[in-house]
Amino acid sequence: MIYKKQVSKNVKKIFILIIAFCLNEVNSVEFYTEKPAFLPSCKIYEPGFTKCSTNTIQKLIDQLIIGIPEITATFGPFDPMHVKNIIFKQDSTEAASIRANLTNVFVKGFSKMKIKQSKVSKKDFSWDTKIFLPKMRMDADYTMEGKILLIPLQGKGTIFIEIENLDIYMHTIIQLYEKGGFTFDNITNINVDLNMTRVRTHLTNLFNGASKEVEDSTNKFFNDNWRDFYEALKPIIVETVEGILYDVMSKVFHLIPANFFIEDIPTSEKLYGKANTA
């Protein structure tokens, strides 16, 4: 009887070790050497490529929402996502002159992301992507001083910015390189342009809590004049969206070879006249 219990304990230990080993193997994968089942491939030199590419990127986003272990291990959950702190300074303009520091920044809404179009240049393989989010919300702790819409501000508290019907146009510049017999995309820059139908915001402890009545009226003023408020804080919002997309896409495209997205993508040597390697 004692022998059977000992065998049972040893089996459990072995089972736990196997699971731990498998998890470590998943997290330590440098890049995929086989195309994942969730990802359809396209050929850029065949008709219908843009439609195919749009579907492929949507499938990738859908899988990110479900979870790609190698991405989640380093990036965390896709929605809500914790992004790096934002330090912001805008020199005096008509809309704002402000210094702000945002910490504990969380962004919600990317799980509802829809890819409206994904085009790839045959010349340099840069991307032009149209994205739609029904709603994006950013919550953070803030410290701020300066002025927005001629209103002098100084405070330390919490802030949320909620954007409805957000259209994102993203231009992504890449450089091809080779690793392990595959071609990869290295993202060198991302630029976004944003359009929306509404922005709502709320800041607590404005004016360091000196007057709740003034704080409430200031928040109401910002929401009543949301277009002007957005223009004042546009650099913060654009930087946040660009940072999220750059961080996620960089990790994805260092993990999944470009060959699995575009079957007939050229090597870096063919495109540039010299080979780039990792």
Residue with tokens 């731990």: 20
pLDDT tens-digit map of 107-132: 999 999 999 999 999 999 999 999 99
- Burial of 131-170, coded b for 16+ CB within 10 Å and e otherwise, reads bebeebbbbbebebebebbeeebebebebebbbeebebeb
Average pLDDT, rounded, for the chain: 87
Residue type, 263: E
Which of these ranges, 40-49, 142-151, 263-272, has the smallest mean pLDDT?
Answer: 142-151
39-49 burial: b if 16+ Cβ within 10 Å, else e? eeebebeeeeb
**How far does CA 164 lie from the centroid of its chain?**
18
Section 86-93 average pLDDT = 75
Domain ranges of the chain: 31-272
pLDDT in the model for residue 117: 97
Measured between alpha carbons, how far is 196 from 199 in angstroms, rounded to an integer?
Answer: 8
Q: Return the CATH class of domain 31-272.
A: alpha beta
**Is residue 168 a contact partner of residue 192, using CB atoms and an 8 Å limit?**
yes
CB contact at 8 A, 185 and 176: yes
Q: What is the CA radius of gyration of the chain?
A: 24
Segment 7-42, tens digit of pLDDT: 455 544 444 444 444 444 444 568 999 999 999 999
What phi and psi values does residue 225 have, to the nearest 5 degrees? -115, 50
* Cα distance between residue 255 and residue 64, in whole Å: 13
Q: Taking residues 59-83, report their average pLDDT.
A: 90
- Name the token pair of 248: 């996620």
Count the neighbouring beta carbons within 10 Å of the beta carbon of residue 72.
14
156-170, 211-225, 228-242: range with highest mean pLDDT: 156-170
pTM: 0.83
CA atoms within 13 A on the CB side of 166: 26
Q: Where are the alpha helices (DSSP H) in the chain?
A: 2-27, 49-66, 69-75, 212-224, 226-255, 268-272
The residues, ordered by sequence, that sit 6+ positions from 52 with a Cβ below 8 Å of its Cβ are 40, 42, 43
Judged by DSSP in three states, 103 sits in: strand
User: Position 9: which residue type?
Assistant: K
